[in-house]
A and B are shown apart, each in its own frame.
Chain A
Amino acid sequence: MSITLLEAQSISKRFGGLQALTDVSLTIRKGEVYGLIGPNGAGKTTFFNVLTGAYTPNGGEFIFAGSELPTGTPHAVVERGIARTFQNIRLFREMTALENVMAGHHLRSDSSLWGILVQNRHTREEERLITERAYEMLRYVGIERHATTLSRNLSYGDQRRLEIARALATEPQLLALDEPAAGMNATETAQLRELISTIRADGVTVLLIEHDVKLVMGLCDRVAVLNFGKKIAEDVPSVVQKNPEVIEAYLGSSHHAH
């Protein structure tokens, strides 16, 4: 009954002598929140980078919405409908919050250099529409009042929200969030959780890398666990939580010895 949105087929990635990902296969269904967890250095962010085209995999491929994803050309991946945020915030710091979101709209607009130079009707109309939508998006994540603030001057939590707004501006089917709760306090995390639920309710599938186990377990429909670049489990949170291999990966093998 559920439709597959993204299928990773034996993805491998090597950096010199380091095997960062080994034959990782997973399936994300349309409309779910899918968690990707694992200890530090397990390959979660590498998986994100390969998925979004920042790295070219050494093996395997992604099938997204029925056809293969291009590798190594990030903007083409975004065009297919995958957007991401970053573990360490990567906003356009010298641009306002509004401009950051508008930059996210770049792909979904098409004014040409000529149109811009002569400021034809299409360009003006599009610009007006993009501005309007960008305001809407800021309202959606709750930072509309900071629209004209330079993004580097926003508070940490607001910067995280802005990253989500910018990613949503590309009109993705799949939103990939790389540790969105990192460095957030309890209130901010609760708000984030609400925001992710809203995003899902609005029909966007979410792929979530997260360290905050409580957030992952409470929010995700299914979870995959990576350890040393290999997938060691994939199931609903309650089952994964009891998987001995997962417990070992997180707490170390000595856990069993005691």
Chain B
Amino acid sequence: METFLQQIVNGLVVGSVYALVALGYTMVYGILGLINFAHGDVLMVGALVSLQVILFVQKTWPALGAIPTLMIGLSVAVTVCMLLGYVIERAAYRRLRNAPRLAPLITAIGVSFLLQTLAMIIWGRNYHSFPQLITTAPLQPIDGVFITPVQVVILISSALLMTGLILLVNKTRLGRAMRATAENHRVAGLMGVDTNKIIATTFIIGSGLAAVAGVMFSSNYGVAHYAMGFSPGIKAFTAAVLGGIGNLGGAMVGGVVLGLVESIGAGYLGSATDLCHLPIWAQSASLQTTCANGGSFELLSSNYQDIFAFVILGIVLIFRPTGLLGERVSDRA
């Protein structure tokens, strides 16, 4: 039972990070019909920029407290990523707006490689340890279930950000223009919406969220690395598809569901594939020594947790390609 609860906590934490990233995929898809495969790398840039800034601040103003230092790192990372998102849209995607769909898709992959390579040139190939500015001493709200203060902060701030985004999209001038552009950008233009500006703003907001997610990710795992964007990127994409790509609520639900499935799955994957639990195998000569005295022979350890994301992606694409909450495939004029 403790394992289960613990994995739920872990799943919620990692799931809310996926959800933040998935929102970026789904917003861009909703408005342009483009899968922005460079989005995961924006997360990486966010993490590494904040790392750099935090190290600089720590060196220059060592007296500054941990929280202000983190906030400075976060703000700079968000600003840099927003700018990056704008530049990516402007330089790589805008001129391909009316090109066949494959062209911007391949470009997105190209931008992803470009960002990774640039990051590798700037920050090298090594893993950098990310300073733990919020204490990682775990709290124990229930006996045997641990949650770190970092994880609490991640849960709360991602919930706030998602609520804010929902309000932004549903209740404001900008949100209306975004929805109008997503539904039909030509008509939106003919009704006075500067669709180029709205599309750029969408990239800016999505990239800002990715930067926050990057800082969360690195704070939680304590590392940053030039290729760290790939895995959360592809999983957030899966989450967006799972929830119904183009649907904001879907991205959030998809992110959390994926995080939970992955986490719970990883918690039990080892013991579920432990050959020592199969009497026939356990008694075979080759395993007898391994299994003796409570030993185990796990076919798949929790390192294989990534398979859940891809199994889910496969299942969704086969049985419910529109995702959990997705229904409409936006029709364009």
CB-defined contacts of B314 to chain A, threshold 8 Å: none
Interchain CB contact (< 8 A) of A106 among B184, B191, B201, B205: B191
Q: Flag if A106 contacts B333 (CB, 8 Å).
A: no
- In the complex, how many residue pairs between chain A and chain B have their CB atoms under 8 Å apart? 91
A103 to chain B, nearest CB (A): 5
Closest chain A residue to B178, Cβ basis = A103
Specify which of B164, B174, B183, B192 is in contact with A92 (CB 8 Å cutoff).
Answer: B183
What's the least CB distance linking B27 to chain A, in Å? 14
A92 with B189, Cβ < 8 A, contacts A111-B173, A113-B204, A127-B173 known: no
A113 touching B186, Cβ below 8 Å: no
Q: Does B194 contact A (CB under 8 A)?
A: yes
Residues of B within 8 A of A123 (CB): 172-173
A223 to B: closest C-beta gap in Å:
24
B307-333 interface mask toward A, CB cutoff 8 Å, 1 = contact, 0 = none?
000000000000000000000100001
List, in ascending order, chain B residues with CB within 8 A of A74's CB: 186, 189-190
Distance between A19 CB and nearest chain B CB, rounded to angstroms: 24
The minimal Cβ–Cβ distance linking A227 to chain B, given in whole angstroms, is 26
Any chain B CB within 8 A of the CB of A107? yes
Q: Cβ of A20 < 8 Å from any Cβ of B? A: no
Q: Does A210 contact B (CB under 8 A)?
A: no
Cβ–Cβ contact A99 & B194, under 8 A: no
In the assembly, what is the distance between CA of A170 and CA of B173, in Å? 14
Q: Kindly identify, within residues 191 to 241 of chain B, every residue whose CB is under 8 Å from any CB belonging to chain A.
A: 191-195, 201, 204-205
Within 8 Å of chain B (Cβ to Cβ): is A125? Answer: no
For residue B328, which residues in chain A have a CB less than 8 angstroms away from its CB? 94
Considering the chains assembled together, what is the distance between the CA atoms of A75 and B189 in angstroms?
5
Determine the chain A residues whose CB is within 8 A of the CB of B194 once the complex forms: 75
B188 at the interface (CB under 8 A from A): yes
Taken together as a complex, chains A and B put the C-alpha atoms of A117 and B174 apart, in Å, by 10
User: CB within 8 A of A54: which of B190, B193, B204?
Assistant: B190
Least CB separation from A48: chain B residue: B190
**Does any Cβ of B come within 8 Å of A225's Cβ?**
no
Within 8 A of A (CB), among B229-281: none
Determine if A52 and B176 form an interchain contact, defined as CB atoms under 8 angstroms apart. Answer: no
Say how far B185's CB is from chain A's closest CB, in angstroms: 10
* A90 engages B333 (CB within 8 Å): yes
Chain B residues whose C-beta falls within 8 Å of the C-beta of A54 in the assembled complex = 186, 189-190
In the bound complex, do residue B177 and residue A116 qualify as a contact, i.e. CB atoms below 8 Å apart? no
Q: CA separation between A107 and B176, bound complex, in Å?
A: 12
- Alpha-carbon distance A83/B201, docked complex (angstroms): 24
Contact pick for A103, options B164, B171, B193, B205, CB 8 Å? B193
Contacts of B173 in A (CB 8 A): 102, 105-106, 109, 111, 116, 123, 126-127, 130
8 Å CB interface, B159-184 against A: 164, 168, 171-174, 176-177, 179-180, 183-184
Chain A residues within 8 Å of B205, by CB? 113
* Residue contact B190 to A103, C-beta cutoff 8 Å: no
- The answer to whether B72 has its CB under 8 Å from any CB of chain A is no
Collect the chain A residues with CB atoms within 8 Å of residue B192's CB. 75, 78-79, 83, 104, 106-108, 170
- Closest approach, in angstroms, between the C-beta of A195 and any C-beta of chain B? 19
- Does A228 sit at the interface, judged by CB under 8 A? no
Q: Are B176 and A95 in contact (CB under 8 A)?
A: yes
> How far does the alpha carbon of A75 sit from the alpha carbon of B183 in the complex, in Å?
16
B187 at interface by CB-CB < 8 Å: yes
- Contacts A94-B183, A113-B201, A113-B204 known; A103 to B191 CB distance under 8 Å? yes
Q: Check if A166 sits within 8 Å of B191, measured CB to CB.
A: yes
Q: Is the CB of A75 within 8 A of B176?
A: no
**Interface hits, A72-110 → B, CB 8 Å:** 73-75, 78-79, 83-84, 86, 90, 92-95, 99, 102-109
Q: Measured between C-beta atoms, what is the minimum distance from A53 to chain B in Å?
A: 8
Q: Counting chain A CB atoms within 10 Å of each CB, which of B174, B179, B191, B201 scores highest?
A: B191
Q: Shortest distance in angstroms between B103's beta carbon and chain A's nearest beta carbon?
A: 21
A residues less than 8 Å from B187 (CB atoms): 86, 90, 92
Q: How far is the CB of B78 from chain A (nearest CB, A)?
A: 12
A107's nearest neighbour on chain B, judged by CB, is B192
Query: Is the Cβ of B174 less than 8 Å from the Cβ of A75?
Result: no
User: Looking at the complex, which one of B164, B172, B184 makes contact with A127 (CB distance below 8 Å)?
Assistant: B172
Distance of A166 Cα from B188 Cα, bound (Å)? 11
Is A208's CB within 8 Å of the partner chain B?
no
* Inter-chain pairs besides A78-B190, A106-B177, A130-B173, 16 sampled, C-beta below 8 Å: A90-B184, A92-B179, A92-B187, A92-B188, A99-B179, A102-B176, A103-B188, A103-B193, A104-B192, A105-B173, A106-B173, A106-B176, A106-B192, A116-B174, A127-B173, A167-B191
6 contacts between A and B (CB under 8 A): A84-B190, A90-B184, A95-B176, A103-B188, A116-B174, A130-B173
A binding-site residues for B, Cβ under 8 Å:
52-54, 73-75, 78-79, 83-84, 86, 90, 92-95, 99, 102-109, 111, 113, 116-117, 123, 126-127, 130, 166-167, 170
Task: State the B residues within 8 Å of A (CB).
Answer: 164, 168, 171-174, 176-177, 179-180, 183-184, 186-195, 201, 204-205, 328, 333
